[in-house]
Structure 1
Amino acid sequence: MKQAAGHAVGTKTATKEERGDQLYETPIEATRTVLALESFSEIIKEPFVGKAAILRPLEAAGYDVQIADLVDRGITTQHGELQQVGDFLLSDPGDSVGTDIFTNPPYGDLANKCLAHALRVHKPRKMAALLNLNFMCGFDDPDRRFVMDENPPSRVYVFTRRLPMMHRDGWDGNKASSQMNTAFFIWERNEDGSYGSGDGIWTTIRVDWKEFEHADPLPPGEGGHRSPMVFSEAAEDFTRTTPRKSVDEHVDEEISRAILWLKEMQPFDSAILRRGIGVRDSVAVALIEAMSANGLIEKNEDGLWFPNGAGLHLTASANAAEAVKAWRAERTVAA
């Protein structure tokens, strides 16, 4: 009987090879419940984006999301920004340190490592993680002790009704109801950089996701722009399925769209340009450098960029797209 149940769930009896990259898509019921109860900064990281099961509800609730995953599935944000690809355990936040995190990390020992890395290195102001309720227990793993004893969560939302089944990606066996009790753990950073109340006590809140099926999300709180994370290269990149392009190559591809976008006639910085044409922050910065170096934009008194006469002349041509191509053929764009 137990073996049959394990097979039906698709997790209990799976070998390490069968589990692969441990993609178990998050039920929207879980994300919807937490968003109705918790507000996060406007910018959020989802470092285990999978197939966008958490990303899409976050965007629908008004958040901008930085996305990454170990596996390149070609996922893009609502602004057209492609996911970053890399091992989160090798990631460095750069100037995105402190940005809120909302995720469903890999299970098992990797959950300990990933959450400890998040708190130690990325230092989110607030972090929400969907975990097995048993995550409260355990004492052998130093990373588990770090995130539950030394830097405990502030609140734990326990789902009184088990979530719809999270079958392993690619599972083609029998479908079954969930055999796992789950909870969303919420960490909040204190002013001194620590997490938790200091006495190892957190608030446990019982919630029934059925009661939040039609609940509105709380609005995003205070937030600002942050650059993407930086990933150290692994010894062998065996997960990427598309060629890695350099920033110069991205600039070559996007410069025409960036110049045509100048017709919007709005002051901009890299964040505004990034959203306007749907590119990564590093590409937006390089595009601004290219257009500035070629005399198409200049800064106004507020420190924002604005198209100058040359830039407006180029975009106002009768056939702007052809004019940009001709301009590109004659000029060397610095990136």
Structure 2
Amino acid sequence: MSVESFQGDIWEPACGDGAISKVLEAAGYQVVSTDLIDRGYGAGGHNFLKSETPLAKNIITNPPYGTHGLGDAFVRRALIHARKTGGSVAMLLNLRSLCHPDRTPRFQRCPPTAIYVLDDLTCWPEGKPVSQYARIAKQQYYWAVWHPGKVERPSFWWLATKPFRDPQ
């Protein structure tokens, strides 16, 4: 939220425990929070990948990555919805996804408008920290933001995460 703003309401379709939704709400956005599994926040039992009707103008999420292109499927579905609503899409993705041969033609056809790399972020699946030496703890992330209808070279910027960490 320090570098992008969105016009209209936001759908967080993989809300999990509400981490992203809560930040969006605190920033004053109207947020619709859903997830396939009820994790105690938002409405569970909602399959985003099979959704036909957008629940809000914009979509912002940390999609599940999984296997068989699950994260890519989230990006595709979000872009389909954003074209219908005239909204934007922001996805928190693994940095390695920028350099994958299967994604190169997709990014060339529909490039993100902006790419923001994060200097330090650990995402714990289902909020369950594991050993600091786990593979997930060593991954790097970026926010990709699409404004459908704009096909141009993306802007690129680095974001420091330290100012936004919870002092626990």
Normalising by structure 2, report the TM-score: 0.82
- Specify every segment of 5 or more residues in structure 2 that has no aligned partner in the other structure, as ranges: none
1:149 maps to 108
Residue pairs, 1:177-188, within 5 angstroms: 178-188=137-147
- Tell me the distance in 2 between the aligned counterparts of 1:172 and 1:213: 16
Q: SS at 2:115's partner residue?
A: strand
2:156 maps to 204
2:79 maps to 119
Q: SS at 1:36's partner residue?
A: coil
Q: Is 1:138 matched with 2:100?
A: yes
- Specify every segment of 5 or more residues in structure 1 that has no aligned partner in the other structure, as ranges: 1-34, 77-82, 215-335
- Deviation sequence 1:42-71 (CA, Å, 0-9, x none): 310100011101011111111110111110
Instruction: Flag the structure with larger Rg.
Output: 1
2:22 maps to 56
- Deviation at 1:205? 0.5
- Tell me the distance in 2 between the aligned counterparts of 1:100 and 1:44: 5
- Deviation sequence 1:232-291 (CA, Å, 0-9, x none): xxxxxxxxxxxxxxxxxxxxxxxxxxxxxxxxxxxxxxxxxxxxxxxxxxxxxxxxxxxx
1:261 maps to none
- Tell me the distance in 2 between the aligned counterparts of 1:58 and 1:134: 26
- Deviation sequence 1:169-218 (CA, Å, 0-9, x none): 2746424583011111110122xxxx431xxx21111121224569xxxx
- Tell me the distance in 2 between the aligned counterparts of 1:188 and 1:153: 7
Q: SS at 2:156's partner residue?
A: strand
Q: SS at 1:204's partner residue?
A: strand
Matched-pair contact (CA < 8 Å) for 2:64–2:70: yes
Q: SS at 1:58's partner residue?
A: helix
1:104 maps to 62
Identical residues among aligned pairs (%): 31
- Deviation at 1:72? 1.9
Q: SS at 1:41's partner residue?
A: coil
- Tell me the distance in 1 between the aligned counterparts of 2:90 and 2:129: 30
Change (3 A) 1:110 1:37: same
- Tell me the distance in 1 between the aligned counterparts of 2:76 and 2:129: 33
Which is helix-richer, 1 or 2?
A: 1
Count residues with an aligned counterpart. 160
Residue pairs, 1:239-318, within 5 angstroms: none
The RMSD of aligned alpha carbons is 2.5
Change (3 A) 1:91 1:174: same
2:5 maps to 39
1:305 maps to none
Which is strand-richer, 1 or 2?
A: 2
